[in-house]
Structure 1
Amino acid sequence: MNDDLHLREIPVSRAEVLRGSFLHVVRDTVRLPSGKETTREFVLHPGAVMVIALLDDGRVVLERQYRHPMQAVITEFPAGKLDAGEGSLACAQRELREETGYSAREWAYAGQLAPTIAYSDERIGIWFARGLTLGERRLDEGEFLDVFTASPNDVAAWCRDGTIMDGKSLVGALWLQNVLNGQWTLEWSVIPDSSAAGLP
């Protein structure tokens, strides 16, 4: 918006700080609205998805996974990062199938969230899935997680008591609550599972 010009920072230059197997950290020099220059360090991220998968009986699909930075097992909605050149829906289909074994007949895009705006450009697409069919999981090498189901009431209670502390899953719980009570609507589409191509 034009009326935000007094807030905007203008990029001047970029230096690479770290390029690991997952993290890519850069340091940008920017010109502030005052005309002075300063630096901003942040993580470049390819983007990710989160899937709120609804079973016919009203329960949702969740995961428990050890997260090393937190030194704890965390309860989350299924999620994962985009592969190079991969679209958001294709990623959602792939991650749901690989991590949980479920494929879905219908999909609805809810929106996106930016979980760490102060130090990363990551955006997470929020997808709802229904018409689930359970198949075989295909976890990545070195990936270990438990899949289970729970009621929306359980999810809400776990957000309240801290069992669910993952930021994207807290946002997912908000979306779930508002969709189920009719305050927020979704546009559902029957979409073939592209991640199932070539699988037996």
Structure 2
Amino acid sequence: MDHLWEKTLSSQEIFKGKIIEVRVEEVELPNGQKSNREIVKHPGAVAIITLTSENKLLLVRQYRKPLDRVIYEIPAGKLEPGENPLDCAKRELEEETGCTSASLIHIQSFYTSPGFADEIIHIYYADQLVKQANGPGLDQDEFLDLVEVTLEEAHQLIKEQKIYDAKTVFAVQYLQLKKYGEL
């Protein structure tokens, strides 16, 4: 066993909601001491780096209550129980942008905040977009604007802190590396 391992002594559910579960776990530390860990359980998510035929990045502009502000993000959504990430990416792409793509390529998966949450996000890339006649199919509680930006405009949105989340900053950096042939 790894010398950094923390042994779980007990686990208590504090909250179970529609999206997350919060647990407090008592652990034994590597030095034998005890401590508590507050853990957010999350089903995982997908996000799609989506380029139009004009080489513009599709972003959604939406209000985020935890931040109490509007930000720009790449299209994304939560995995349903047992859902395959690729299937979720196809669904979210169509729901949020009104587009489908003949090709969705998995780029990277990463944990968003491993210090307190187990949320993993799977990033896909799509550039062969086909607009659907019916347009976006947003959920009843989902309100957003679809925006197309150049890579330079995306960099400016980062500077202005209008792009302010890790998955979208990752997407912009990915496109920057792709543009200069470093991928």
Same fold (TM over 0.5): yes
Answering whether residue 156 of structure 2 is matched by residue 161 of structure 1, we say no
Which structure 1 residue ranges, 5 or more long, are not aligned? 185-200
Contact 2:19 2:43 in 1 (8 A): no
Counterpart for residue 131 of structure 2 = 134
Q: Which residue, out of 58, 63, 87, partners 2:60?
A: 63
Counterpart for residue 104 of structure 1 = 101
Listed as ranges, the matches of 1:33-52 within 5 Å are 33-52=30-49
CA-CA distance at 1:15 after TM superposition: 0.7
Spell out, residue by residue over 1:154-187, the C-alpha distance to the aligned partner (whole angstroms, 9 max, x if none): 1122112312111221122122211222112xxx
SS at match of 2:116: coil
SS at match of 1:35: coil
RMSD, matched Cα: 1.2
Contact 1:79 1:96 in 2 (8 A): yes
CA-CA distance at 1:26 after TM superposition: 0.6
Answering whether residue 163 of structure 2 is matched by residue 182 of structure 1, we say no
SS at match of 1:154: helix
Contact 1:113 1:168 in 2 (8 A): no
Spell out, residue by residue over 1:73-92, the C-alpha distance to the aligned partner (whole angstroms, 9 max, x if none): 11100001101111111111
Q: What is the aligned-residue identity percentage?
A: 36
Answering whether residue 118 of structure 2 is matched by residue 121 of structure 1, we say yes
In the aligned structure 1, how far is the partner of 2:174 from the partner of 2:19?
29
Which structure 2 residue ranges, 5 or more long, are not aligned? none
Amino acid aligned to 1:130 = D
Amino acid aligned to 1:16 = E
SS at match of 1:153: helix
Answering whether residue 82 of structure 2 is matched by residue 85 of structure 1, we say yes
In the aligned structure 1, how far is the partner of 2:17 from the partner of 2:99?
31
Counterpart for residue 150 of structure 2 = 151
Query: Structure 1 segments of 4 or more deviating over 4 A?
Result: none
Spell out, residue by residue over 1:62-105, the C-alpha distance to the aligned partner (whole angstroms, 9 max, x if none): 00011111111111000011011111111111001001101111
Counterpart for residue 17 of structure 2 = 20
Amino acid aligned to 1:139 = L
Alignment size in residue pairs = 181
SS at match of 1:110: strand
Amino acid aligned to 1:123 = I
TM-score (norm 2): 0.94
Answering whether residue 92 of structure 2 is matched by residue 95 of structure 1, we say yes
Counterpart for residue 192 of structure 1 = none
In the aligned structure 2, how far is the partner of 1:145 from the partner of 1:158?
17
SS at match of 2:103: strand
Spell out, residue by residue over 1:97-127, the C-alpha distance to the aligned partner (whole angstroms, 9 max, x if none): 0011011111211111222122110010010
Spell out, residue by residue over 1:21-42, the C-alpha distance to the aligned partner (whole angstroms, 9 max, x if none): 2221011111111011211011
